[in-house]
Structures are given as structure tokens and as C-alpha cells.
Amino acid sequence: MIALIAWAWPYLAAAGAALLAAFGLYAKGRADASARARLKSLEDDHEAAADLRRIVDRGLADRVRKFDDAGFRD
């Protein structure tokens, strides 16, 4: 029994290391995707705020009324 464990130990350790590496890559990919989604959301908010600012700067206040309470942030 000890000989079997001694023989299989390196293979089990390699398999465990491979599983840990695969999980690490998976977790890193999810973190990157989450960061990209957060950045895209911020960019969309900034674009919407810039659009509102442009409309107000041109003096088109009546067109801005449709954005009232729309949830856009500056």
C-alpha cells in the first residue's frame, strides 16, 4: 500500500497543481470580464453626461426635459 502511494504521489500532486492552475485562470478571466463591464458602464455614464452637457450648452433646454429623472449621473 505504501509503495502504491509513493508511486502515485507525484501524479496526484501534478494533477492537483493542474487543477489549481486551471481554477486560477478561470478566476482571473472572470475578474477581467467584471473589470471590463465596470469600465464600460462608467464610459457609458460619461458619454450620457457629455451628451446632456452638450445639449444644455447649446441652449436646447426643452430637449433636455426628456432626460429628467432618467438616472444619468454627472
- Report yes or no on whether pTM surpasses 0.85: no
**pLDDT at position 61:** 62
3-state secondary structure of 24: helix
3-state secondary structure of 60: coil
How does DSSP classify residue 72?
Answer: -
| Residues 52/72, Cβ–Cβ less than 8 Å | yes
pLDDT, tens digit, 9 for 90 and up, residues 15-56 = 999 999 999 989 998 888 888 999 999 998 888 888 888 877
**Does 74 score more than 60 pLDDT?**
no
CA distance 36 to 56: 30
**Does 59 score more than 80 pLDDT?**
no
Of 1 and 53, the one with more pLDDT = 53
